[in-house]
Structure 1
Amino acid sequence: MEQMIITPIAKSLNISEKQVVNTLDLLEQGNTVPFIARYRKEVTNGLDEEQIRVIQENYAYQLNLKKRKEDVARLIEQQGKLTEEIKKQIEACEKLSQVEDIYRPYQQKRKTRATDAQAKGLAPLAEWLLKLLPNVNVAQEAANYIKEDVPTIQDALQGAKDIIAEKASDDAEIRKRIRNSMEHYGRLVTKEKKKHEDTKKVYKMYYDYNERISTLASHRIMAIDRAEKEKVIQVSIDFDEDYQLNWAIQRFTKKRQCPAVPYIEEAVQDGLKRLAFPSVEREIRNELSERAHEQSIEVFSMNLEKLLLQPPMKQKMVLGFDPAFRTGCKLAVIDETGKLLKISVIYPHQPNARTKEAESIMLNLLKTYPIKIIAIGNGTASRESEAFVAKLIRDHHLAVSYTIVSEAGASVYSASKLAREEFPDLQVEQRSAISIARRVIDPLAELIKIDPQSIGVGQYQHDLPTKRLKERLDFVVTKAVNRVGVNVNTASSELLKNISGLSAATAKSIVTYREDHGEIRNRIELKQIPKVGAKSFEQAAGFLRIEDGDEPLDRTSIHPESYALAKKILAQFALTPSMMGSEEARASLEKVTSSALAKELGADVYTIEDILDAIRSPLRDYRERYDAPILRSDVLELEDLHIGDELEGVVRNVVDFGAFVDIGLHEDGLVHISKMRRQRVQHPSEVVAVGDVVKVWVYNIDQEKQKVQLSLLPLQK
């Protein structure tokens, strides 16, 4: 590993170069990101999954950059034009775009006006003009190039100017200055097109808009890109063209006065206006879009992670309620383990309202089964269904609560092969009700079955590059599953395949083994399962939990490689593995210093701390640190609200400009970024995350649009 690659990565993450080198060594040995983050902290000095991912991606980029530098230097050298100065310029490049700017004058070009002129033998005339010789006759010199395909002096001079124009456009220093001017001082300008189909005025804000390139927010870039794609607006970058033209002309004419200067001025102006300005503008627009895409992918990933890590509502029987108008509301009763007990359908809403019958069916279900929570999907007819359920609870004094559940992707799952295999005799809508109920019992286990891109917790996700989005979301899913861990005897193959070291084939092999041999009794037994090799076992074992098995340590996050050390610690404090999690165990470890214990046992502090945590709370669920869903028993109407009202709500989505909060109305209320803190907030994710339960104040009510604006800050009275 070369220093020139390691140093910039360490600098960008503000970590030591040793951490980067050690992490890359571990990755090269075939270790997964979750395994390294959880069980090799002593090697990386505690780097988390995100830092390891960035190291992995940056290293790949730096390798690519290094290879491109070598290729460009070789290609220029093959033309006999590689100088020490060009070599230094290439070596100094920190981005691929900078390398491409240096290579631009030397690369093979498609047919252009300049290549056409060169083919006609006019390159020497262009070189002669650029010599800026005094006291010469330009027309007389040009006459020497007249031939069949260059019939006039004007044709000869035009060809020479075309060659100079392309040379000016390809000049790396000129492009660098144009880019700098656009990026730091340029403004993005949008104008409405005369004919378009924006009937709902979705893009009205951008009909006549301009903003500094340097301050453009990602969500505005995405909106402008989409409006341009839909032919609603035209977009350009406004900057000081005259200054750039004058500078470029001086670069080529060296401020001399000679007969060739007017021709060079014309050529340089043409080269910049026709070629360089549009080219650099395209590059900057592409970079803005890429930056916006990365930001949107980051927001999507962050929101998805919080959604996956919502705390499960353990030991609760749930009634899944999939709302609809015409086709009726589908109901599914699910027991504490997620097993389907009963399917039904009711018609509480128009156009086929049978309200009394719907109430009777609901009351019968609630009487027959000890249901604690009704999970209502947040799609079509959600709020009408909420009003129906709330009235039922109120009128009959029922000891049951309801919660609104995001049903994003439920229809995708319901129609999937996986759902058909799980419930072959049920209709799509019935499967959807089951999915909604299971999202309360164990959100991670249920959401894992759905393509992450179908879970709508981002902004402009349909405009994002599919491959890059999939990579990031797959990473988030893997990270979430491994942080939580899974019960190897109950986890689905969909859940298992995301465990560190396991693949889809290995996951299926584990499920098949369970079906053939019964419950897996200990982690060592995993080695007997076909397709689970030594490396798979090493990577996966710590994330696969076995409850009520032969070895009490198997139910914890302690890796089998550390069992001997864990038992040593237990023995030292007169504890047995079966005593883990007891008050006695916690009391025994109360005054233990992990650094002192690590020194005494000759182990690293990270592993000691993890073992001590597992002894105190062997069944601790990572998700417990987040807010549980809000349970309601009555409905809220817009008419009930007043400016300044204090409410409790759940964050449903976080975007660049704010957060959408479910306070129990038909539409989620918006907390704009400016209403989150008294101090400046760079991004809403600094303050809130999807699933957070927050206290909000009503800031504005729009009765006409039925929308509410909220604030995280109490209103000044």
Structure 2
Amino acid sequence: MQKIIGQIATEIRVTAQQVQTAVELLDSGATVPFIARYRKEATQGLDDIQLREIEARLSYLRELEDRRATVLKAIDEQGKLTDALRIAIATAPTKQELEDLYLPFKQKRRTKGQIAKEAGIEPLADKLLADPTLNPATEALAFLRPAQTLDDGKPGPDFSTVPAVLDGVRDILSERWAEDAVLVQSLREWLWAEGLLRSKKIEGKNETDPEVAKFRDYFDYDEPIGRVPSHRALAVFRGRTLEILDAKLVQPIEPEPGRPSLAEGKIALHLRWSHASRAADDLIRKCVAWAWRVKLSLSTERDLFSRLREEAEKVAIKVFADNLRDLLLAAPAGPRVVMGLDPGIRTGVKVAVVDATGKLVDTHTVYPHEPRKDWDGALHTLFQLCQKHGVQLIAIGNGTASRETDKLAADLIKLLEKATPAITGVQKIVVSEAGASVYSASEYASQEMPDVDVSLRGAASIARRLQDPLAELVKIDPKSIGVGQYQHDVNQSELARTLGTVVEDCVNSVGVDLNTASVPLLSRVSGLSASVAKAVVRWREAHGAFRNRKQLLEVAGLGPKTFEQAAGFLRIRGGDNPLDMTGVHPETYPVVQAIIAQTGKPVAELMGRAEMLQTLRPELFANAQFGVITVKDILGELEKPGRDPRPDFKVARFNEGVEDIKDLREGMVLEGTVSNVAQFGAFIDLGVHQDGLVHVSQLAHKFVTDAREVVKTGDIVKVKVLEVDVERKRISLSMKLDAAPARRDGPRDNRFAGASREQQPARGREAPAAAPSAMASAFAKLQQRKGH
């Protein structure tokens, strides 16, 4: 265990003691949000990001140690565990390298090489490899064996001829080399650095087919595999899965027909062998070629494709997680009356009004669009609802007919302003409706709104996610919120785990109102399971609002340990103790009592008095249990009690007359909302049913490696239209408002318009110079091509 702790400490650059403490807390059942917030003293200030990394690496390294023990035992039982092998296994840093070492000892089906060994041909293979001056055909005569017949009457191994014996030599040597861990790892790392991912359209696929055309940029594509960006890798793998693209790993220099490849040269150098026209050299050359082409090329490709996919998935999952975090922590409109409009054409626009607490108070369906075209009737109905309930905000889903419904809302606001008495200040906002349909049909939605039609529940969700995005979106499976790229192509269990931790961290960073929170929201609080969250709500329904945090201990199934983990993140407004509405943990209330005694002010007068609190010296109130770090946090919380870490609420204003991609023109400057962020750029909702892309090169007047350095999901930005491709539904934008229009003859990003030339993968490369004839000189040329 100390070895694991030391390794993690080195990797994340903290002390072993910090890791040791974090591991002990995690193993005891403490959650990451609780440790990060309330155990800073113990971990010496580890934050939630470091703790999540410790948690993930701890799991991986423990699995690695378990597998290491299994491998050692299996080899030892075979009587083949040498001291050198034991050391190699004990120091293998990854699961892949451990499996490489174990490969020669794995129980497997009988291979041709094993059959040849059983026939006694291995001494000949060793002899010829050790002394290539020997004549293979002559030496093979001593190893001829008569053909065998198996018990079932079928023909068995036949080594009755010289060619058959030499084939046995080939099988023995090629299998031996293919199981050489050092050789396999060196080939793998060389090809990761120098090899190319190449894709082509599969013959016979119709380019005019829309599904095929999506992959047009990969019909003739290659790029160094170690530098393929996540989105391009996942696009190629998706095209391969759909049997549209043929993807291969190719060497940096393709060998001429009949000539040895660079990979064969690498094998030869590893063996310290070179062709010198000795009697056995041609046979050994054929064995080397066989080892690469039959034994190693496909397995190496498979390993590197797995590595590429794994790394691409990590990036894609991180992008999804970052976008989800930004969306969940988006600015809440707060306690305002909101009208939610779920746009539709033939089925009508679904309308739901929720009061300031989020309670659904009215629903309706209007038909302003095709086929009824009841624009005036729809306006009249919406006007009546606004007057009746005092609507302050109008939330419009961004789906089909969103732009048309946005215009309806604009007309409604004008009508309200002309009313007697005039109703002013009503604003309209287009919000993402991703996941609304999933929520509408969920079991929780049916419990929350049992007498409301499924289609109208979506409008209520759209309204509520404007009031408090976090409280509403936790009711939806994070994977359904739609802020990821290639989310269906990545490891689903890892995606779910990562997104779950994001939701948990967001919920706990904001805090939860104990007396209004839903079961889904409560179940994301540190320490609370779904069953305990339900028990909390049942207690609330039976006994009324919680008056203080201590009452949580009266909830069935919520014991002292759960209370410790959860209490600091639960808020009670207007309760018995003002501290219960803050992030101060109940265990530290005695520290606050000491502060009260020192200042002579009751807690209600202390809260919000920054000028007074900042004069206090934290070390005066520290004790053996709670040190200066904790006291500083308490004082900070008292300065801004119940503070919300989320930004202030703002509204993007779409340009009038811009309702469809066809309305866009080069040079237009528009305002929009960042709907999604990837490493290569940011997607902007302009209200035209198709998000535009600001490529990473167009985000700022400086070099940007990751779009999140400049923008995040939910930001309101001004952009300039660089290029519009109506046919392919691509909009190229720039946040550099003085940017020139995109070159129409320039290369495109492999998936999105507007990418700079530097960001493009190499395509249509000319054939490289022919490889030299000798393996050694081929490898020498490879060394000269470093950085290809």
Pair in the same fold by TM > 0.5 = yes
Is residue 194 of structure 1 aligned with residue 218 of structure 2?
no
Name the structure 2 match of 1:374: 394
Shift of 1:443: 1.2
Is residue 637 of structure 1 aligned with residue 649 of structure 2?
no
* Native 8 Å contact 1:138 1:259 kept in 2: no
Return the match for 1:464 from 490, 512, 530: 490
Counterpart CA distance in 2 for 1:137 and 1:34 is 69
* Native 8 Å contact 2:321 2:499 kept in 1: yes
Q: Which moved more, 1:530-539 or 1:612-621?
A: 612-621
Deviation digits for residues 307-336 of structure 1, max 9, x if unmatched? Answer: 111222122100010000011001001000
Structure 1 residues 195 and 137, CA gap change in structure 2 (3 angstroms):
closer
Shift of 1:522: 0.9
Name the structure 2 match of 1:263: 283
Shift of 1:259: 3.9
**Residue type of the partner of 2:430?**
I
Secondary structure in 2 aligned to 1:678? Answer: coil
Secondary structure in 1 aligned to 2:671? Answer: strand
The 5 Å alignment of 1:152-171 reads: 152-171=161-180
**Residue type of the partner of 1:115?**
Q
Q: Which moved more, 1:555-564 or 1:597-606?
A: 597-606
Name the structure 1 match of 2:716: 693
Return the match for 1:519 from 542, 545, 567: 545
- RMSD, matched Cα: 2.4
Structure 1 residues 197 and 298, CA gap change in structure 2 (3 angstroms):
farther
* Native 8 Å contact 1:627 1:693 kept in 2: no
**Residue type of the partner of 1:690?**
T
Q: Which moved more, 1:64-73 or 1:402-411?
A: 64-73
Shift of 1:258: 5.3
Return the match for 1:655 from 671, 678, 693: 678
Name the structure 1 match of 2:300: 280
The 5 Å alignment of 1:269-348 reads: 269-348=289-368
Shift of 1:576: 1.3
Structure 1 residues 250 and 309, CA gap change in structure 2 (3 angstroms):
closer
Secondary structure in 1 aligned to 2:719? Answer: strand
Secondary structure in 1 aligned to 2:535? Answer: helix
Return the match for 2:250 from 228, 231, 238: 238
Counterpart CA distance in 2 for 1:694 and 1:155 is 73
Counterpart CA distance in 1 for 2:726 and 2:266 is 57
Shift of 1:54: 0.9
Secondary structure in 2 aligned to 1:352? Answer: coil
Q: Which moved more, 1:44-53 or 1:238-247?
A: 238-247
Counterpart CA distance in 1 for 2:134 and 2:362 is 99
Counterpart CA distance in 2 for 1:237 and 1:137 is 34
Counterpart CA distance in 2 for 1:426 and 1:310 is 28
Return the match for 2:690 from 662, 667, 677: 667
Name the structure 1 match of 2:536: 510
Structure 1 residues 80 and 257, CA gap change in structure 2 (3 angstroms):
farther
Q: Which moved more, 1:245-254 or 1:408-417?
A: 245-254
Deviation digits for residues 267-303 of structure 1, max 9, x if unmatched? Answer: 2210111111111111000110011111111111111
Name the structure 2 match of 1:711: 734
Counterpart CA distance in 2 for 1:168 and 1:421 is 63
Shift of 1:338: 0.6
Counterpart CA distance in 1 for 2:465 and 2:504 is 18
Deviation digits for residues 579-619 of structure 1, max 9, x if unmatched? Answer: 2444xx2221243454x545699842321122112211212
Name the structure 2 match of 1:115: 114
Structure 1 residues 237 and 647, CA gap change in structure 2 (3 angstroms):
same
Deviation digits for residues 422-473 of structure 1, max 9, x if unmatched? Answer: 2222211101011100101111111111111111000001111111111111
Secondary structure in 1 aligned to 2:593? Answer: helix
Name the structure 2 match of 1:628: 649
Shift of 1:197: 5.4
Name the structure 2 match of 1:489: 515
Shift of 1:121: 4.4
Secondary structure in 2 aligned to 1:622? Answer: coil
The 5 Å alignment of 1:583-622 reads: 585-594=609-618, 596-597=619-620, 603-622=626-645
* Native 8 Å contact 2:124 2:139 kept in 1: no
Counterpart CA distance in 2 for 1:54 and 1:305 is 17
Q: Which moved more, 1:166-175 or 1:536-545?
A: 166-175
Counterpart CA distance in 1 for 2:650 and 2:688 is 16
Secondary structure in 1 aligned to 2:505? Answer: helix
Return the match for 2:584 from 558, 578, 581: 558
* Native 8 Å contact 1:109 1:115 kept in 2: no
Return the match for 1:533 from 532, 542, 559: 559
Shift of 1:699: 3.3
Query: TM-score, normalising length from structure 2?
Result: 0.86
Name the structure 2 match of 1:132: 131
Counterpart CA distance in 2 for 1:338 and 1:278 is 58
Q: Which moved more, 1:333-342 or 1:396-405?
A: 396-405
Query: TM-score, normalising length from structure 1?
Result: 0.94
Counterpart CA distance in 1 for 2:161 and 2:557 is 78
Shift of 1:392: 2.8
Name the structure 2 match of 1:203: 215
Q: Which moved more, 1:663-672 or 1:175-184?
A: 663-672
Deviation digits for residues 649-697 of structure 1, max 9, x if unmatched? Answer: 3211112321112234332221111111333222212222111223433
Structure 1 residues 197 and 468, CA gap change in structure 2 (3 angstroms):
farther
Q: Which moved more, 1:99-108 or 1:704-713?
A: 704-713
Shift of 1:120: 4.2
Q: Percent identity?
A: 39
Structure 1 residues 257 and 21, CA gap change in structure 2 (3 angstroms):
farther
Structure 1 residues 265 and 425, CA gap change in structure 2 (3 angstroms):
same
Counterpart CA distance in 1 for 2:730 and 2:236 is 24
Structure 1 residues 107 and 142, CA gap change in structure 2 (3 angstroms):
farther
Structure 1 residues 359 and 28, CA gap change in structure 2 (3 angstroms):
same
Is residue 451 of structure 1 aligned with residue 473 of structure 2?
no
Shift of 1:395: 5.1
Deviation digits for residues 527-586 of structure 1, max 9, x if unmatched? Answer: 11110111001111111111111111111110011001012123323321222444xx22
Name the structure 1 match of 2:772: none
Structure 1 residues 637 and 242, CA gap change in structure 2 (3 angstroms):
same
Counterpart CA distance in 2 for 1:227 and 1:136 is 50
Q: Which moved more, 1:238-247 or 1:504-513?
A: 238-247
Counterpart CA distance in 2 for 1:395 and 1:551 is 47
Name the structure 2 match of 1:434: 460
* Native 8 Å contact 1:376 1:385 kept in 2: yes
* Native 8 Å contact 1:526 1:537 kept in 2: yes
* Native 8 Å contact 1:630 1:649 kept in 2: no
Is residue 248 of structure 1 aligned with residue 267 of structure 2?
yes
Structure 1 residues 261 and 611, CA gap change in structure 2 (3 angstroms):
same
Shift of 1:133: 6.9
Structure 1 residues 683 and 253, CA gap change in structure 2 (3 angstroms):
closer
Shift of 1:87: 3.1
Structure 1 residues 703 and 125, CA gap change in structure 2 (3 angstroms):
closer
Counterpart CA distance in 1 for 2:612 and 2:446 is 51
Counterpart CA distance in 1 for 2:392 and 2:185 is 65
Shift of 1:345: 0.6
Counterpart CA distance in 2 for 1:32 and 1:179 is 39
* Native 8 Å contact 2:121 2:143 kept in 1: no
Counterpart CA distance in 1 for 2:726 and 2:522 is 48
Q: Is there any run of 5+ residues in structure 2 with no aligned partner, and where?
A: 148-156, 254-259, 418-422, 741-788
Shift of 1:207: 0.3
Name the structure 1 match of 2:752: none
Shift of 1:137: 5.9
Return the match for 1:222 from 215, 229, 234: 234
* Native 8 Å contact 2:140 2:165 kept in 1: no
Counterpart CA distance in 1 for 2:38 and 2:446 is 38
* Native 8 Å contact 2:654 2:671 kept in 1: no
Aligned length: 711
Structure 1 residues 137 and 545, CA gap change in structure 2 (3 angstroms):
closer
Counterpart CA distance in 2 for 1:633 and 1:657 is 25
